[in-house]
Amino acid sequence: MSPLFCTLGHENSGDSRFCRQCGEQLSAVAVGLIALSGQLLGGRYRVKRELGQGGFGRTYLAEDTHRFHEPCVLKEFAPQVQGTQSLQKAEELFAREAGVLYKLQHPQIPQFRELFRAEVQGVGRLFLVQDYVEGQTYHALLQTRRAQGHLFTEPEVRQLLFQLLPVLDYLHRSGVVHRDISPDNLILRSSDGLPVLIDFGGVKQVAAAVASHLHAYASAIGTRLGKLGYAPDEQMNTGDAFPHSDLYALAVTVLVLVTGREPQELLAGDRQQWKQQVRLSPPFVSVLDRMLDPYPPRRYQSAPDVLYVLSSPAQPNHDITLPPPPSPLPTFSHGSSTVAIAPPPARPKARSLPWLPLVLLGLLGGTATGWWWLGRESPSPKPQPTQTAVAPPSDNSTNVSQYSKQEQARKQAIRDRRQTLGIDQGFLVRLVDDAFYLDHPINRALSADPSDEALRADWDRKATEILDRLERLSQAARSRLGSYSNADVDKRRAAVNQLNLSSRSLNDLTDAHFFQWFPDQPRDPTLLQRPFGQVWQAIATDEVAAIQAGTALERIQFPSGRFSQQVSGTLKPGTGRAFTASLQKDQVIRLSVQAPSTTRLSLYPPSSKLPALLEDSKELEWSGKLSASGIYEVVLVSTATQSVEYTINLAAAENVTMPDSTN
C-alpha cells in the first residue's frame, strides 16, 4: 500500500487515519488517492508511471498525446481541505500564485506548461504540467560513485557551481527562491551534460501559500519548505527564504558530493568539522565556509557574489572546462510586431561572436579589483521594478596597491563615474568584457602582472568609452540596464502599436542609435542575448518615449483633394524618424526621398505578415501597386556623423506616373 503524507510532508503508512508525527487527520482526499497509471487526464496527458510522492500530492511521468506523445511531468496538487467550496478556493489561489512559475524561461529549469483540473472518480485534482528531463540525479550519480570507491572532485563541483550560479541569479532576479536545492533535485541532463533544477521549490511555496489561506497549519507548513540539513536554520524555523538561503543549500550539496556524507554528519555540533573531512584547496574552502555561515548577513548575498570570488586570481584554476552559458536571455522576435520564443530573427544583422567565459573586472564597485566569470547577462522574464539587476560583488580580490598610481586613479575614476550614472557594477563588467574580448580574442583572463598592464589599460579605456555613451541614455532607461526582459519587448510593442507603428519601425530607429554609438559591435541576430542587448533595449525604451512625444513620429496626411504630400526635416547623427500614412489596396504610390547617401529608407505594409517593401535600403525611391489597405510606415534613418537634411515626397493615386521598372 502506498504511503500517505499529511500537509506538512510527514510520511505515514497507507492505512493511517492520523499523522503519526503531528496528529493531523488524514482526510478522505489523502486516504482515497488512487493509482492513475494508464489514465488520460485533461483529455491530453496519459499517465505512464508514478515518479514520487510528497506532502501535496504525487508526481507522474506522462506523455502528451497532443505533442507526438512527448514525455512530460504531471505534478498533482491535492490540498487537504474539506468541501467543494474550500477546494474551489484552493484552485483559485493555486492558479493565481502559480502564475509566476509559467513566466520563467530558462533552459536549466523545466518549463511549466499549464495548470489543469481533472476529475478522478469524483475527486477533483489539480495538475501542473512541466517538461520532463532525461538524466540522472546527482544523488544517483553519487551513489554510483560511492559503490565504485570514489566521489566528486573539486574541479567537478567548482564547474557545477559555475553552471548553476547563473541559473540561481536568473531565478532570484525573477523574484523566486528555489528553496529545495539538494542532490535529489539536480539532474545531470543526458543531452548536453548540464545540471537542471527539478522539483522546483516554488511549487511547494505556492502550495504553502494556498494552505495558509485554508487551514490552521500555516505556520508549521512554512517551517518545512526545504530539506532538513540542506536548508538553513532560518528557513526551517520561520519559512522565510532568500537568495542566500539557496546559496547555503548549494554549498551543503557540494559538501555532500565531495564527502559522500549526509549534512547532519557534516554540520551537526561543531559546524567547522566538515573542513577536516574534505580535500579542497584553502581558497575554495573559504568560499564554501562563507556560503554556509549560520548568520545570514555574513553569507554571500547573491549568486554573482560567489562567482566573483570563485573567479578571482586567488582561486585555483584546476583547468575547468566551462560550458557555454545557458542562454539566459530569452530569444525575441526582433523583426516583427509580435513577441515569440523562436529562433533568432534576422535583425539586428551581424556575424556571430564565440562565447568567451573569461571576464574582466576593473575597479568598479569598491576598493577591490580582479577578474571574474559571470557569463552573459540574463534578464528576468517578467517586468521588474526600476533597480539594479545584480548586487555589487563583495570586496574579495587582489590588493590594488600592486598597480601603479596612474592605474589606480584610472580605475577609481571609472568607479566614480559608474556610481554617478547609477549603473550596476556587475552589468558594466560584462558589458566591457563583451567589447574587450571582441577586440582581443585571447582565451584567458587578464592577470594583475605587469605583463598585462597594456591590456588592462585598454579594458579601462573601453569602460570609459562605454560610460560616455551610456550617459546619453535617459536616467530611467539607464537605471534598468541588466534587467530588461521579453516582457519589456512586449510592452514597447504594445506602446507603439497604439500609435499605429510596428516593432519593425521601432527596431530601425533603435538600430540607428545603437550602431552609431557602437559601430564596432557585430550586427548579430544574437545581439539581445548578449550584454549589449541590454543597451539596445535601453535605447529602444528612449525611442518609445520619443515616439510618444511626437519627436520621432509624424503622420503624413494628404490635403483635401490632393494625393501627394511633401515633408522635410533634419536628422541628427545616428537618429531617425518614422512616418505613417493611410493608404488603400490597389493604389499606385510613389515614394522618393532627397537626402545624402548615408540615409537609409524602409517602407513597411500594414501587417507584419507581409514582407517589407523596402528595409534599411540605400535606395531612396519605391513605386508600385499596394496589395493591402491600412497604415503604411516610412522610416528614415541617418548613418552620417553630421546632421543631414531630408525631403520626403509621397504620392498616391490611380494616375501617378510610373517609372519604366519598379521595385
pLDDT (tens digit per residue) in 424-465:
888 898 899 888 888 887 767 778 888 889 999 999 999 999
In a shared domain, residues 274 and 412: no
Identify the residue with better confidence: 137 or 345: 137
Domain boundary among 486, 517, 541: 486
Q: Is residue 158 part of a domain?
A: yes
The CA distance from 615 to 345, in Å, is 14
Q: How many domains does the chain have?
A: 4
Q: Is residue 448 part of a domain?
A: yes
Distances (CA, A) of 364 to 216, 393, 416, 428, 432: 50, 10, 8, 8, 11
Q: So what's the pLDDT on residue 246?
A: 94
Per-chain mean pLDDT for the chain = 77
Residues in the chain: 663
Strands 186-189 and 135-137: antiparallel
Query: Residue 23: pLDDT band by 50, 70, 90 thresholds?
Result: low
Identify the residue with better confidence: 86 or 184: 184
In a shared domain, residues 241 and 105: no
Domain boundary among 436, 457, 486: 486
Query: Residue 213: pLDDT band by 50, 70, 90 thresholds?
Result: low
Q: So what's the pLDDT on residue 32?
A: 37
Q: What's 329's DSSP letter? A: S
Coil, helix or strand for 517? helix
Query: Residue 530: pLDDT band by 50, 70, 90 thresholds?
Result: confident
Q: Is residue 108 part of a domain?
A: yes
Calculate the CA 316 to chain-centre distance.
29
Q: So what's the pLDDT on residue 52?
A: 74
The CA distance from 89 to 82, in Å, is 11
The CA distance from 546 to 464, in Å, is 27
Query: Residue 366: pLDDT band by 50, 70, 90 thresholds?
Result: very low
Which CATH number goes with the domain that contains 222? 1.10.510.10
Query: Residue 379: pLDDT band by 50, 70, 90 thresholds?
Result: very low
Which CATH number goes with the domain that contains 641? 2.60.120.380
Q: Is residue 293 part of a domain?
A: yes
Q: So what's the pLDDT on residue 378?
A: 32
| Residues identified as active-site | 180
CA gyration radius for the chain? 29
In a shared domain, residues 419 and 480: yes
Please name which of 543, 493, 494 lies closest in space to residue 514, comparing C-alpha atoms: 543
Q: Is residue 628 part of a domain?
A: yes
Could you tell me the residue range of the domain that residue 57 belongs to? 1-132
Q: So what's the pLDDT on residue 362?
A: 34
The average pLDDT across 365-379 equals: 28
Q: Is residue 561 part of a domain?
A: yes
Q: Is residue 501 part of a domain?
A: no
- Written as one string, the DSSP assignment of 452-516 is GHHHHHHHHHHHHHHHHHHTTS-HHHHTTTT---HHHHHHHHHHHHTTT--HHHHHHHHHHHHHH
User: φ and ψ at 356, to 5 degrees?
Assistant: -115, 120
Q: What percent of the chain has pLDDT over 70?
A: 71
Domain boundary among 318, 337, 353: 318
In a shared domain, residues 356 and 441: yes
Q: So what's the pLDDT on residue 128?
A: 84
In a shared domain, residues 360 and 432: yes
User: At residue 226, does pLDDT exceed 80?
Assistant: no
Which CATH number goes with the domain that contains 24? 3.30.200.20
In a shared domain, residues 431 and 413: yes
Asked if 348 and 527 count as a contact pair (C-beta separation under 8 A), the reply is yes
In a shared domain, residues 331 and 471: yes
Q: So what's the pLDDT on residue 424?
A: 87
pLDDT (tens digit per residue) in 140-169:
999 999 999 999 999 999 999 999 999 999
In a shared domain, residues 139 and 255: yes
Least confident of 251-265, 314-328, 363-377, 502-516: 363-377
Q: So what's the pLDDT on residue 272?
A: 87
The average pLDDT across 27-34 equals: 40
Q: So what's the pLDDT on residue 630?
A: 93
Q: Is residue 498 part of a domain?
A: no
In a shared domain, residues 160 and 124: no
In a shared domain, residues 471 and 430: yes
Calculate the CA 14 to chain-centre distance.
42
Q: What percent of the chain has pLDDT over 90?
A: 43
pLDDT (tens digit per residue) in 97-144:
566 677 788 889 888 888 888 877 677 778 888 889 999 999 999 999
In a shared domain, residues 303 and 345: no
In a shared domain, residues 274 and 413: no
pLDDT (tens digit per residue) in 597-609:
999 999 999 988 8
Q: So what's the pLDDT on residue 217?
A: 38
